Amino acid sequence: MTAQLIDGKKIASDIKENLKREVSGLTARGINPCLAVVFDGTDPTSRMYVALKKKACAEVGIDILIYGIQKTTNQSDLIKFIKKLNAAPRVNGILLQFPLRDGLYKNIVSVIAPEKDIDGGSYHILRKPLRNKPHFIPCNSLVVIKILENYKIEVNGKYAVVVEGSKTDSNLGALSFLLLQKGAAVITCSDDTASLKKECLKADILCVAVGKPKIVSGNMVKKDAAVIDMGMNTTSSGKVIGDVDFDAVRKKAAYITPVPGGIGPVTIAMLMHNTVLAAKMQSKILQSV
């Protein structure tokens, strides 16, 4: 038996088709959802990520404003510019695309106004109870929940393990919270956890976001587990791979996300979802928490 591949492209396509109809309805009411993306204009990886988001916006009908940070841009300049976007009525969502160059720090995300922080980068959602009202959920956490729901993978009563990198900033606290809310027993580990293999072997749902190729091997995965590979690494030959030893793990798991083609497309779709949600909240169609 080999694991069923989770088709992130198909999930993303379905989400974007629904959003396209929703945006059309908003546009008819004079509401044009708009996303502003700020990125390091000198970084080729960032340019690639922004191009993917631009394509998704075009597919859904969301306006997108793209601003490249230049070599001369300093921390103070960037903060001033983000505050300007915070005050811009046209802009519903702001995304600060990483990686940023040295000298520009991740904590700058906290400058983004909470009502426009569509990527959940400042993690203000963790300071609020998840009531049955509109709210942003960090895209890197929401994507996992959407995948589990789409494939009808049971969460309630299951054991979930979230593995993060000890030296990275994946910040999946919202994911652990959401899994708990759905009735899972959840443990968070790092790649330095002494009992990592032991904990992974318990997991009915294993989510890995470390940033190290093949950090999870076949002998670390429970039979029939659902494995969500959230890593993205580039080999010396230029091939993009995840954090999981795909070929070995696929022989044991029931479900597995490929890299690429797994969580990546769905994460972008979730960004579109949150942008549309922001537009509805700011236009008072929905009331935010």
The reported pLDDT for the residue numbered 235 is: 86
| pLDDT per 10-residue tile (average), the chain, 289 residues | 94 98 96 97 89 98 96 92 97 92 80 91 54 71 96 98 78 87 95 95 97 95 97 88 96 97 96 96 74
The reported pLDDT for the residue numbered 289 is: 42
The reported pLDDT for the residue numbered 124 is: 53
Q: Model-level pTM?
A: 0.91
Which CA distances in Å does 63 have to 36, 41, 134, 150, 245? 8, 20, 22, 27, 39
Strand 240-241 and strand 255-256: pairing?
unpaired
Cis peptide before 99 (omega within 30 of 0): yes
The reported pLDDT for the residue numbered 169 is: 58
Instruction: Look up 53 and say whether it is catalytic.
Output: yes
Half-sphere exposure of 187 (CA within 13 A, CB side): 16
**Cross-strand partners of 34:** 63
Three-state SS letters, 5-71: ECCHHHHHHHHHHHHHHHHHHHHHCCCCCEEEEEEECCCHHHHHHHHHHHHHHHHHCCEEEEEEECC
The reported pLDDT for the residue numbered 133 is: 52
CA distance 98 to 119: 12
- Tell me the backbone φ, ψ of residue 60, rounded to 5 degrees: -90, -30
Task: Specify whether domain 139-264 bears CATH 3.40.50.720.
Answer: yes
Instruction: Return the axis-axis angle of helices 173-181 and 139-150, rounded to nearest 10°.
Output: 40
Helix, strand, coil in percent for the chain, rounding step 5: 40, 15, 40
What is the homologous superfamily of the domain 29-117 according to CATH? Answer: Leucine Dehydrogenase, chain A, domain 1 (3.40.50.10860)
CA distance 97 to 179: 26
CA distance 262 to 226: 13
Neighbours of 203 (CB within 10 A): 26
The reported pLDDT for the residue numbered 129 is: 45
CA distance 137 to 173: 11
- Tell me the backbone φ, ψ of residue 262, rounded to 5 degrees: -100, -100
Selecting among 63, 97, 245, 282, the annotated active-site residue is 97
The reported pLDDT for the residue numbered 37 is: 98
The reported pLDDT for the residue numbered 273 is: 96
Cis peptide before 260 (omega within 30 of 0): yes
CA distance 86 to 111: 9
Please state the domain extents for the chain: 29-117, 139-264
Q: What is the pLDDT of residues 23-73, one digit of tens each?
A: 999 999 999 999 999 999 888 888 999 999 999 999 999 999 999 998 899
Q: Is the fold of 29-117 the same as that of 139-264?
A: yes
Selecting among 40, 43, 117, 119, the annotated active-site residue is 119
Selecting among 16, 53, 146, 280, the annotated active-site residue is 53
